[in-house]
């Protein structure tokens, strides 16, 4: 009975993601050259990108989840909609992003639909577009995620490898083992990215402040 129930749930999840994929494709094709639309399958974070329409970031299907995706996987209470936050494409172009988490009937995040608007082509057009290119001030200047795959994937693999060398998973390690792991990451230069501390915190199941304390 449990097997049947599990199979039905998996089928329902796949159907939900399939419907979301239709929306991603339609939205991307409505704004060619302007708005990248990405559907992340959070059931497989290492190969999360299910569809990417109007590709502006250089990522591809099968690439890993971003920091927001990892945060939703770790915490079902993470906000379902993060709207109009400042972002940046790998080549430096400014972007305005919105991320929509998609939950199944069990309340688990199984997907995320993300829109990344290239505001660099809009902002010079006219002052009338000021509201369109504006980002929410409450998000501040700190980027919530990076629109590239390599750094997040490499960091995750490194953390998992270092944890395995210590006989556990990143979240199962004791405090001192996590401290040692973080110090090694710091020595190896993984904190050069301003997003790294939060990504490491999500992987280890600790706060960003704790990660910084571990580096001291």
Q: Residue 47 — pLDDT band, cuts 50, 70, 90?
A: very high
pTM > 0.95: yes or no: no
Position 170 pLDDT exceeds 60: yes
DSSP labels, 119-159? GGGTTTT-GGGHHHH---GGG-SS-S--S-SHHHHHHHHHH
Check pLDDT > 90 for residue 169: no
Instruction: Count CB-CB contacts under 10 A for residue 169.
Output: 14
Question: pLDDT tens, 94-131?
Answer: 899 999 999 999 999 999 999 999 887 765 554 455 55
- At residue 81, does pLDDT exceed 50? yes
pLDDT for res 154: 79
């Amino acid at each position: 009975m449990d097997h049947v129930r599990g199979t039905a749930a998996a089928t329902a999840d796949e159907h939900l993601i399939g419907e979301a994929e239709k929306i991603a494709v339609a939205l991307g094709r409505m704004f060619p050259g302007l708005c990248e639309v990405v559907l992340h399958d959070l059931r497989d974070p290492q190969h999360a990108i299910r569809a990417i329409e109007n590709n502006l970031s250089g990522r591809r299907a099968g690439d890993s989840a971003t920091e927001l995706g990892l945060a939703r996987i770790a915490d079902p209470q993470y906000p379902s909609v993060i709207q109009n936050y400042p972002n940046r494409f790998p080549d430096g172009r400014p972007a305005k992003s919105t991320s929509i988490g998609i939950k199944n009937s069990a309340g688990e995040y199984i997907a995320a639909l993300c829109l990344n608007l290239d505001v660099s082509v809009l902002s010079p057009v006219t002052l009338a577009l000021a509201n369109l290119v504006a980002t929410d001030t409450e998000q501040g200047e700190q980027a919530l995620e990076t629109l590239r795959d390599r750094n997040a994937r490499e960091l995750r693999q490194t953390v998992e490898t270092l944890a395995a060398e210590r006989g556990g998973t990143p979240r199962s390690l004791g405090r001192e083992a996590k401290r040692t792991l973080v110090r090694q990451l710091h020595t190896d230069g993984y904190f050069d990215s301003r997003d790294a501390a939060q990504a490491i915190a999500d992987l280890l199941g600790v706060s960003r402040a704790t990660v910084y304390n571990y580096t001291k």
